[in-house]
Structure formats: C-alpha cells, structure tokens
Amino acid sequence: MVAYGDVSIESLIGFYGEAKTDANGQHHEAIVDKDELKSEWTFVKHLMSEKRELDISEFYQEYIMPAAEIYPSISKLYTILLVMPTTSVECERGFSCYNVVKTDQRNNLAVTSVNQLMMLRIEAPTVEKFDFEKAFNEW
C-alpha cells in the first residue's frame, strides 16, 4: 500500500504539474502543485483503500468534493477525470451528424449554419417530444 498509485501520480504530475507552452506560444501554468499532490496522495490512497465499495464518482462526491480545500490538487484531478471522455463515441456521433447535415445538396452551407444545424440535431428534442405550442407562445 505504501507505493500504491505512486507511478500513476508521477505520470499525472508530469502532465498536469508542469507549466506548458502551446503551439501558439501561449504559456499555461501548471494545473496542480507537484509537492501538494504528492502529499495529498499519501492520505487519499489510504482513504480509497478503506472505501473500495464506492465507484470513482461516489468517492469524489462523498470524500473529495467536501474536502476540496484540504485536497485541492486531488480535487482538480478528479474534476478532470470525471469530465474526460473515456471513449470516442461522442466524437464519432458528431461525425455521423455532420454527414447527415452536410450532404451534396447542402454543400454550400456556411460553417455557422452547419454548426447550428448540428447543434439542433444533437441537442434538440425529437419531433415527437417537441412542444410546438410552448415554442409558439414563447416566440
């Protein structure tokens, strides 16, 4: 248990604990403090071993989020973890939607129009679920 997760934490420190410069030359500060993260990890890994029955989201909600001031670096990493897509399904869905929206007949659509049509196709309710009366009254 002493070294549990230490290699992974070092990898995360290498990525999120270092300042970076992007391709445009813009400087980005480190997201987490290296030393702070190492210190926090020594406490959190023991708590995790005691609460193995909880999934990642439950553990975050019950133990990390309420103690975000105590574990600020771990809290930031959990926030990243919980919003990071684990598959490319959403991306693939986006490409499929693009192929439906931008057909040969719609080849001259402006980028903003394609974007708006894709957002409607992805986010809007289906015709069966759309409340036309409410939309008419609000319009």
The per-residue pLDDT for range 107-131, each reduced to its tens digit, is 888 999 999 999 988 888 888 888 8
- Confidence tier at 41 by pLDDT (50, 70, 90): very high
Phi and psi angles of residue 27, each rounded to the nearest 5 degrees, phi first? -85, 135
Rounded Cα gap, residues 6 and 28, in angstroms = 25
Per-residue pLDDT tens digits for 20-31: 999 999 999 999
Mean pLDDT over each residue of the chain, to the nearest integer = 90
Inter-CA distances, 44 with 49, 66, 103, Å: 9, 13, 52
- Contact, 97 vs 122, CB < 8 A? yes
